[in-house]
Amino acid sequence: MARGERQEKWEEKDEAEYENVTAAMEAMEEAYRAVFAAAREEMPIEEIDTILMKTAQAFDAEVLRMDCNPFVVSPDEAPPKLGLTRAPLKRNAFWGMDHQVRRKGYFADLGRYGYIGDLPDSLAEKHSRVLARQELVAAAVLPGRSMKEIFRSCPHEMPFEVHRIGRQPNMLPMCGNATRGVLEAMERSEREGLVFEVGQVVCVEVWAGLSGGIEDMYLVEPAGLVRISTLPRGIHVVRGADG
């Protein structure tokens, strides 16, 4: 096959992947919107599970990682995903969701936080710093740039992760310092010469415990990343019956 034909096939593949991944992303966003719309004090986790599953099914999609969400941010500042309680939602408590959706063999990944009650200004300010860090991490990602070059250009004071999302299950290439597994995946990506390429979809995550967290999906374009997930990135505040 000639080089031009190979390029054409690659562009067709990317277009198909983009369409399927964004369809999975839309299912994930609608599922989160439905949860936030229904969220209330003492809401059972099983009800959240049902909302997520039924909303995704309407998009011919399946929600994954159902057994570990939502996670509750604990006051001892333990890593948020280790503070999984599966307990009913509480007033004046910070909680988050980080699920993955699969649709026709393609995946989407999204993370958001919620709060029931009057959101403290200090928490809103801390979370705004998380969002700013996410933007700095995303700005460091360029097509063809090595994982170590990306890593050196990122702020390191909050745990972060950048990974491929699409059809491949291992999410490589990957870059970041969120866990030992992420660091090992970054080393493997570097050894194998893996880079992000134009047309791919990637996720950028920042998780900072009591300061909040965020995960969004981006398209790799020649000049860098463009965010394609549309769900509001701030903390989703539920006032409650007396709010």
- Asked whether the beta carbons of 162 and 109 are under 8 A apart, the reply is no
Interatomic CA distance for residues 133 and 206, integer angstroms: 7
State the pLDDT at residue 7.
39
Residue 5's pLDDT is what? 44
- Gap between the Cα atoms of 226 and 32, Å rounded: 21
Q: Which domains does the chain have, with CATH numbers?
A: 3-238 (3.90.230.10)
CA distance 66 to 59: 17
Task: Please list the ranges in the chain whose pLDDT falls under 70.
Answer: 1-14, 66-85, 168-169, 210, 240-243
Question: Residue holding tokens 């000049």?
Answer: 223
Helix or strand (DSSP H, E) at 23: helix 3-38
Per-residue pLDDT reduced to its tens digit, 60-90: 999 887 665 666 655 555 455 555 567 788 8
- Other C-beta atoms lying within 10 Å of the C-beta of residue 186: 24
Instruction: Identify the CA nearest to 74 among candidates 64, 58, 85, 86.
Output: 85
Nearest to 114 by CA among 131, 95, 141: 95
Task: Give the number of other Cβ atoms within 10 Å of residue 108's Cβ.
Answer: 28
Amino acid in the structure at residue 107: F
Determine the pLDDT at residue 8.
46
| pLDDT score, position 3 | 34
Cis peptide bond N-terminal to 232, omega within 30: no
